[in-house]
């Protein structure tokens, strides 16, 4: 059975700390791995990773994928209270059928990050 596992499920840190969130996966037809940030409502897109070893960076956030070991990490440096959210990892998988294909996302349960002032 395909699955995406995130750890830890919840984390409490203080402002200024650096955190690492983990996502491991077992998916049959892997195509991509995505990270989303969910504060109160809609998840917002952070990164999409398709190649191993290439770090993607956006401000204090960065992420890297290891397709050999089947995991990704999301790093947040110098955390701020505004980083408090649920971080979702999702793996893009393709299904093949006669005449076409369909890409779907399989989500992990998320990591709830709380940053205390």
Partner 1 sequence: DGGITQSPKYLFRKEGQNVTLSCEQNLNHDAMYWYRQDPGQGLRLIYYSQIVNDFQKGDIAEGYSVSREKKESFPLTVTSAQKNPTAFYLCASSPDSSSYEQYFGPGTRLTVT
Site for partner 1 in 54-113 (CB under 8 A): 88, 90, 92, 94, 101-105, 107-110
Is residue 34 within the footprint of partner 1 (CB under 8 A)?
Answer: yes
Return the residue of 13, 17, 22, 32 that touches partner 1, per CB under 8 A: 32
Of the candidate spans 18-26, 33-41, 54-62, 71-79, the one that interacts with partner 1 by CB under 8 A turns out to be 33-41
Return the residue of 28, 41, 82, 99 that touches partner 1, per CB under 8 A: 41
The answer to whether the CB of 87 falls within 8 A of the CB of 110 is: yes
Give dist(CA 11, CA 83) in Å, integer.
12
DSSP 9-40: SEEEEETT--EEEEEEEE-TTEEEEEEEEESS
**Cα-based distances in Å from 68 to 6, 11, 24, 51, 75:** 17, 27, 11, 11, 20
Residue number with CB closer to partner 1 (9 or 54): 9
Which residues contact partner 1 (rule: CB under 8 A)?
Answer: 4, 9, 31-32, 34, 36, 41-45, 48, 88, 90, 92, 94, 101-105, 107-110
């Amino acid at each position: 059975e395909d699955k995406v596992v995130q750890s830890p499920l919840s984390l409490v840190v203080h402002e200024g700390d650096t955190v690492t969130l983990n996502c491991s996966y077992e998916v049959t037809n892997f195509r991509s791995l995505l990270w989303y940030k969910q504060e109160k409502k809609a998840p917002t897109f952070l990164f999409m990773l398709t190649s191993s070893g290439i770090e993607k960076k956006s401000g204090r956030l960065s992420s890297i994928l290891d397709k050999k070991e089947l995991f990704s990490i999301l790093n947040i440096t110098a955390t701020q209270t505004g980083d408090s959210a649920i971080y979702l990892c999702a793996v893009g998988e393709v299904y093949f059928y006669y005449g076409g294909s369909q890409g779907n996302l399989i989500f992990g349960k998320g990591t709830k990050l709380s940053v205390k002032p």
